[in-house]
Structure 1
Amino acid sequence: MKNRIALSEIAHAAPAAGGGATDPALGLLPVWKLSDLYAAKDAPAFTADLKQSETDALAFENKWKGKLAEAATKTGAGGIGEALKEYEALDDLLGKIGSFAGLTYFSDTSDPANGKFFGDVQSKLTDISSHLLFFALELNRVDDAVMDACMDRDPTAGHYRPWIVDLRKDKPFQLDDKLEQLFLEKSMTSASAFNRLFDETMAELRFDIDGEKQPLEVTLNMLQEADPAIRAKAASALSKTFSDNLRVFTLITNTLAKDKDISDRWRGFEDIADSRHLANRVEREVVDALAAAVQDAYPRLSHRYYAMKARWLGVDQLNYWDRNAPLPETPKAVIPWETAKETVLSAYGAFAPEMADIAGRFFAEEWIDAPSRPGKAPGAFAHPTVPSAHPYVLVNYLGKPRDVMTLAHELGHGVHQVLAGGQGALMCQTPLTLAETASVFGEMLTFRTLLEKTKDKRERKAMLAQKVEDMINTVVRQIAFYQFERKVHMARKEGELTSQQIGELWLSVQGESLGPAIKISEGYESWWTYIPHFIHSPFYVYAYAFGDCLVNSLYAVYQNAAPGFQDKYFELLKAGGTKHHSELLKPFGLDATDPTFWSKGLSMIEGLIDELEALDKELG
């Protein structure tokens, strides 16, 4: 059973209160209401559910432990189907409790009360989960032929066939029951503890800008300011604070890399990323082909684009902090929240009214947290919670054009999560490689809608440039991150790494991916420290490149598709975790195992750079 409380795949969250915050330039920014889950940390319903989950878990263990082989021979009462329904109900309940605890904690990790609440609930859920751990292990010990016959004979068991088939892929890497229980219980004082240390450290970091202490999100946002002096100050502040805290980030990185190495060794994984590939239900060869294709395209994508941008900004080389600097043609007006909302919903509605209807619920029913504020986690995410509830979306909205794209991205996740929820708690979760499909597709719909409305050629140039940069950040940057992680985890096998060694590995992959037009100067060696994916979800990052390239190919099909594309697209999203990527892509004529698949996806980025270059020549 997945320990949902860790929230490891979605990063962070924000406050439990509903309502909103008014900003003079942005308008009323919504704050979500976690009361849809529970009214408060001490709400009677929360206390009752926590107690009920413990009672139900013990009853489930007493009822089914040691009896699954016999249950596999029965149909109906006392059969595997009945056990799976009870297990799924428990998974949903524990997921709801864990989501509430985690989201409340991440609203302000500096609040000791939130930290205690999170820790206590996490401990309780770990204890409860230990009573359920036997189920997957024992189920995997049932003979394959007996299990196949059970699923064929019993419609209820057959309903869960995709989950059972996926579960049996884990079988070669599972340990005996006692060791699995030890791994589960020790996770609180190993990986989970260092994840929490990272989150609390990041939340408390402040960056000195002209004497004012700013949080991470605000400081990172300054790297997109038009004034180069502001960008330089932000970069300097980031480098200083990251460097001042290198010891703790180096300790966290070393500890988690070693912890993963121990787990991989005991479970028998051959490659350092194989556990992630298994979780993503994607073959190592497919990921290797993706990484190789992107690396081969560095000169045609990032190197070429940044050389063009340096020329536009009148320099031979861009400072590393100018990588996402706006072009002079970029509109400087702040985009109010209502405009961003209308932009995204309009783009979604033009594709499919149902998509806009689902996304609209996030606004109407207060499922979004938008303001940027002290204590709130940086970045953005969509958290699915559980099928019996609904997803939540967090953004730090500051009115930039990229913030609109981020909103479109996260709402794409949200729509996907709502649609996949129909599969139930066990089968709704989409592997990360496909989890980015709807989000990136939502971004593309929004971008294309805005681009079509933009008639001014200079504004069009700025929009194309920003989209190219976002795609480079999603594809090139994330594969560079993946290669960095590989180098760190491989080097850690030989011994503990110093901050300098980790910094050198970081600079090596950054220099290769960004190219000669980016000047990597002193200070940048510590910028690996703030990437949460390295901490929460090792090797998560290639999923972004996978999703972007996949969507580029999917969008090309959409542009030339006959009627019915939208229906097939919704079926893909509704499938959740019930189908392999090959099965889901087949109706679109796409195959990620085809060696040319990734080249097709990358060619769309190259085509946008071609279009941008032609437009630049036209403008003189």
Structure 2
Amino acid sequence: MRYTPTLTRDANASAGGKNLGDLPEWDLSDLYTAPDAPELKRDLDWLEDACRSFAADYEGKLDSLSAGEFLTLVQRNEKIGAIAGRIMSFAGLRYYQMTMDAERAKFLSDCQEKITNYTTPLVFFSLEINRLPEDHYADLFAANDELARYKPAFDRQRAMKPYQLSDELEKFLHDLGVVGDAWERLFDETIAGLTFEVDGEELNIESTLNFLTEQDRSKREAAARELARVFAANIRTFARVHNTQAKEKEVLDRWRGMPSPQMGRHLSNDVEPEVVEALRNAVVKAYPRLSHRYYELKRKWLGLDRMQVWDRNAPLPMEVTRTVSWDEARETVMNAYSAFDPRMGELAQPFFDKGWIDAPVKPGKAPGAFAHPTVTDVHPYVMLNYLGKPRDVMTLAHELGHGVHQVLAAGQGEMLSSTPLTLAETASVFGEMLTFQRMLENAKDDKERKVLLAGKVEDMINTVVRQIAFYDFECKLHDARRGGELTPDDINALWMSVQAESLGEAFDFMEGYETFWAYIPHFVHSPFYVYAYAFGDGLVNALYAAYQESPEGFQDKYFDMLKAGGSKHHKALLEPFGLDATDPTFWDKGLSMIEGFIDQLEAMEE
């Protein structure tokens, strides 16, 4: 049981622009007021003692506890998780605000090390849970209604039973986890420390990536070539990180007897491998109907014989380049949320009013965007890199959706609030869809409607097609690493093998694009995370279609689903809506919504 900040990241977040208004920054005092706050020392001291006494009271005794005694054990364990989570949330969020700050990096590392040491005695807990005989386990939870509520969390834990090692090895791996975290920090600090020069201006990675959405094609090309130059200059470091992380995973998987590199992610997501495979196959089969068809349309709109990679996220020629102020972005998203249900707006409001969002781009700040739930007795925090692009409005809608979901799920408590990644994207993508539909309704004319539709299709392609291509890249990377060390050229070749297939015939690929795998944080922080985006998008498309077909009572069912957190399997959560992700045809429903939007765009050409 290790405690690291669980970040729901958006790798495709983009930003750019100035004169944005008063951008909010985090107030972390709801966690702790400072690194030297007496409350933080008090909690660290309490945690050390609580872990020690927990082990003394329960190690070797789980099979002899009554249901009431087991409930007390669960509640004590939950409090330990809450205190450890609060400490690591504070340390992690401070670090992500300024990853180049040595004091913040040291504070995060020291907290992680202490908590790893303190919680090592607790490793026995999950091991003994998994050794309980099936009948004894079932009887225990059947004997106490309050305890029975926690059973889904333990059921997921027992899914790891076939892959469990000896007590001594599990403790060793628990302690060794700090070393793996150091490679993640090396990646974060390297990315945050990169500098790029575009048109004589020195920029960080966030602002440079933003140039890929500029109207001026020469600026897009300059940014793409500068990204390639800087990535190439650092490619050995990125290759070393990926080689080490993939090898570490291969060793762990081999010792545990995992049947595939992806299996650990599927288990943590509480999703069946065949469901993920059906999703992946449905999306790959749909490439010609989705990305290939859309990018051919876009090639014509841009008046190009061939597109380059720097044209992928280019604005349309008829799109007016403008900066969206923070106030406008907030109003757009809040109106969309409140129009769906006033409760949604009420849940979102404190994020803007109480310092729960950190929006500005700052030197050393982590790139991208995320929502971090912290612990259930505090509240989530949202990080953005907001610089006023229209797509930044969608990123705000996305991350705010995560935040609302996390607030609602907090009622489940520490052990059951955390949602598997596949379902964690539900409220975020649904929030984007609400915002998009609101903007579409308010479009002044067909030109604006076309720009909005094209933008939504591109976002959906980035969420579905691009993320499944990422997933295929990771599958190939981990399989190849099992055969030995991979050179940067080896990894580059794997990256390029999925790009042409997913993007289609409209594209050429500049020299240097082969290194663009280097900056994707998911590959390092959360291997195989990326299919969750496609899962979430497909699920939300099906959900939104159900909402359009039968709006009566939908909101209450939707809120119940979000409140459930991680207490139910995806099959049970979707049942009230008449949906089933294990149905092979389920994913085609979601993909058909993207196709429908492309149909509308093609019809506008006639």
TM-score range, shorter chain: over 0.9
Distance 1:179 1:55 in 2: 24
The answer to whether residue 81 in structure 2 is matched with residue 100 in structure 1 is no
Once residues 599 and 555 of structure 1 are traced to their aligned partners in structure 2, the CA distance between those partners, rounded to angstroms, is 14
Q: SS at 1:455's partner residue?
A: coil
- Checking the alignment, whether the CA contact within 8 Å between 1:330 and 1:463 is kept in structure 2 is no
Greater relative CO (CA pairs within 8 A, separation 6+):
2
Deviation at 1:562, TM superposition (A): 4.2
Aligned to 2:485: 496
Q: Tell me the TM-score normalised to structure 1 length.
A: 0.95
Aligned to 1:126: 116
* Deviation of the 1:303 alpha carbon: 0.6
Alignment check: 8 A CA contact 1:222 1:234 kept: yes
- Given residue 393 of structure 2, which amino acid in structure 1 is its aligned partner? V
Residue aligning to 1:20: none
- Native 8 Å contact 1:279 1:431 kept in 2: yes
1:46 and 2:40 equivalent? yes
Q: Distance in 2 between matches of 1:116 and 1:545?
A: 36
- SS of equivalent to 1:30: coil
SS of alignment partner, residue 196 of structure 1: helix
Q: Closer, same or farther in 2 for the Cα pair 1:107/1:11, shift >3 Å?
A: farther
* Aligned equivalent of 2:442, options 440, 450, 453: 453
For residue 510 of structure 2, give the secondary structure of its aligned residue in structure 1: coil
CA distance in 1, matches of 2:318, 2:150: 54
Matched, 1:403 2:402: no
Match of 1:156 in 2: 146
Aligned-pair distance for 1:368? 0.3
- Residues 422 and 536, structure 2, Cα contact 8 Å, conserved in 1: yes
Q: Distance in 2 between matches of 1:487 and 1:423?
A: 38
Q: Map Cα deviations across residues 59-111 of structure 1 (whole Å, 9 max, x no partner).
A: 1111111111111xx243xx111100000011011000011111112221211
Equivalent residue letter for 2:129: L
**Structure 1 residues 537 and 9: CA distance shift in structure 2, 3 A:** farther
2:18–2:388 Cα contact (<8 Å) kept: no
**Matched letter for residue 212 of structure 1:** E
2:106 aligned residue (116, 122, 136): 116
Secondary structure, in 3 states, of the residue corresponding to 1:90? helix
In 2, are the aligned partners of 1:416 and 1:438 still within 8 Å (CA)?
yes
Alpha-carbon separation, structure 1, partners of 2:302 and 2:199: 25
Q: What runs of 5+ residues in structure 2 fail to find an aligned partner?
A: 12-16
Which deviates further from its counterpart, 368-377 or 156-165?
156-165
Q: Which amino acid aligns with 2:4?
A: I
* C-alpha displacement of 1:535: 0.2
After superposing the two structures, state which structure 1 stretch, 458-467 or 527-536, moved more: 458-467
- Is the CA contact (8 Å cut-off) linking 1:461 and 1:616 kept in structure 2? no
1:32 to 22, 26, 34: 26
> TM-score, normalised on structure 2?
0.98
On the 8 A contact 2:292/2:503 being kept in 1, the answer is yes
Q: Which string of whole-angstrom CA distances, capped at 9 and with x for unpartnered residues, describes residues 285-342 of structure 1?
A: 0000100010001111111111110111111111101100001222322111111101
Alignment partner of 1:217 is 2:216: no
SS in 1 for 2:414: coil
Aligned with 2:202: secondary structure? strand
Q: Does 1:57 align with 2:51?
A: yes
Aligned-residue offset at 1:166: 1.5
Give the superposition deviation at 1:160.
1.1
**Does the 8 A contact of 1:355 with 1:415 survive in 2?**
yes
Deviation, structure 1 residue 138: 1.0
In structure 2, distance between residues paired with 1:589 and 1:339: 37
Question: Is contact 2:368–2:385 with CA below 8 Å preserved after alignment?
Answer: yes
1:386 matched to 2:380: no
Letter in 2 for 1:58: R
Q: Indicate which of 581, 588, 591 corresponds to 2:580.
A: 591
> Per-residue CA shift, 1:374-393, capped at 9, x if unaligned?
11111111000010110000
Which letter maps to 1:32? W
Structure 1 CA distance, aligned partners of 2:411 and 2:6? 21
2:535 aligned with 1:554, yes or no? no
Given residue 85 of structure 2, which amino acid in structure 1 is its aligned partner? G
Q: How many residues align?
A: 601
Aligned-partner Cα distance in 2 for 1:195–1:35: 26
Q: Which runs of 5+ in 1 are unaligned?
A: 13-22
Counterpart amino acid of 2:162? P
For 1:233 and 1:521, locate their aligned partners in 2 and report how far apart those are by CA, in whole Å. 12
Report Cα offsets for 1:510-536 as digits up to 9, x if no partner: 011001101112010000000000000
Task: Please list, as runs of the form range in 1=range in 2, the aligned pairs for 1:343-382 lying within 5 A after superposition.
Answer: 343-382=332-371
In structure 1, which of residues 269, 273, 276 is the aligned counterpart of residue 265 of structure 2?
276
SS in 2 for 1:110: coil
Shift of 1:159: 2.3
- Which residue number in structure 1 is paired with residue 14 of structure 2? none
Q: How does 1:51-450 map to 2 (within 5 A)?
A: 51-71=45-65, 74-76=66-68, 79-189=69-179, 191-450=180-439
1:7 positional shift: 3.7
Distance 2:49 2:178 in 1: 22
Secondary structure in structure 1 of the residue aligned to 2:378: coil
Tell me the secondary structure at the aligned position of residue 38 of structure 1: coil
Give distance in 2, aligned partners of 1:254 and 1:565: 47
Alpha-carbon distance, 1:8 to partner: 5.8
Kindly provide the CA deviation profile for residues 443-472 of structure 1, in whole angstroms up to 9, marking residues without a partner as x. Answer: 000000000000311111111111100000
Post-superposition offset of 1:563: 1.3
CA shift digits 1:555-606 (9 cap, x unpaired)? 0000011411110001110111111101111111111111111111101000
One-letter amino acid of the structure 2 residue matched with residue 334 of structure 1: T
Q: Go from structure 1 to structure 2 and tell me whether the alpha carbon gap of 1:24 and 1:247 turns closer, same or farther (over 3 Å shift).
A: closer
The CA deviation at 1:156 is: 3.1
2:517 to 528, 536, 542: 528
Tell whether the 8 Å contact from 1:487 to 1:505 is kept in structure 2 after alignment.
Answer: yes
Q: Distance in 2 between matches of 1:574 and 1:488?
A: 37
SS at match of 1:180: helix
Letter of the 2:53 counterpart: A
TM superposition shift of 1:10: 4.4
Partners of 2:597 and 2:574 lie apart in 1 by 24
**Separation in structure 1 between the aligned mates of residue 331 and residue 121 of structure 2, nearest angstrom:** 48
Alpha carbons of structure 1 residues 10 and 312: separation in structure 2 relative to 1, 3 Å: closer
The structure-2 alpha-carbon separation of the partners of 1:11 and 1:465, relative to structure 1 and needing over 3 Å to count, comes to closer
Identity fraction in percent = 55
Which residue of the other structure, out of 449, 461, 484, is the alignment partner of 2:473?
484
Whether the 8 Å contact between 2:24 and 2:358 is mirrored in structure 1 is yes
1:75 and 1:126 map into 2 onto residues whose CA distance is: 29
Are the aligned partners of 2:275 and 2:582 in contact in 1 as well (CA < 8 Å)? yes
- The one-letter code of the counterpart of 1:98 is M
Aligned twin of 1:17: none
Q: What is the match of residue 4 of structure 2?
A: 5
Confirm or deny: 8 A CA contact 2:78 2:415 kept in the other structure: yes
Contact 2:18 2:387 in 1 (8 A): no
Distance 1:170 1:11, change over 3 A: farther
For the aligned residue pairs, the C-alpha RMSD in angstroms reads: 1.2
SS of equivalent to 1:56: helix
